[in-house]
Amino acid sequence: MAFKSGKSGNPNGRPKGARNHATSDLVKRIGQILDKNTKQLQKDLESLQPVERVKAITGLIGYVIPKKQALNVQQSLDYEYHKLEELLKIAPDEAIEQIMERIQSLREKEVDDGE
């Protein structure tokens, strides 16, 4: 069954941070190549001048260690609390219950992240 133009099976799109299949396959293939050539890569790195070796290793680190996010968890929670406080000031009574549920879920997340 084909989708109508402008409509998809997932109106929210791909989740943030999710890779497409081609990217996943490529990462897997690169990993296999690196696994098979570990000794040669080590020799090649050792043959470089120190400055060049640092540049090479620094370039590879991004493939192993995820990039740090701009906001840490506490900053994100502080921002959410601030926004919720602003909403509470202007919210109609029926919305306050929903806002309080959101605050409670943030507090639970904060406890879970702190463990």
Q: How far is CA 66 from CA 41, 42, 60, in A?
A: 22, 22, 11
Give the pLDDT score at 24: 78
Average pLDDT over residues 1-18: 69
Average pLDDT of span 60-73: 70
- Phi/psi at 16 (5° precision): -60, 130
**Domain chopping of the chain, boundaries:** 21-61, 73-114
| DSSP assignment of 19-65 | PPHHHHHHHHHHHHHHHHTHHHHHHHHHHS-HHHHHHHHHHHHTTTS
pLDDT for residue 47 is more than 90 = yes
Q: Tell me the pLDDT band of 33, cut-offs 50, 70 and 90.
A: confident
- Rounded to two decimals, the pTM is 0.39
State residue 12's pLDDT score: 74
Q: What pLDDT, on a 0 to 100 scale, did the predictor assign at position 78?
A: 82
Asked if the model's pLDDT at residue 15 lies above 70, the reply is yes
Identify the residue with better confidence: 35 or 15. Answer: 35
The DSSP 8-state label assigned to residue 15 in this structure reads P
> Residue 23: its pLDDT value, please?
75
Nearest to 101 by CA among 84, 76, 79, 82: 84
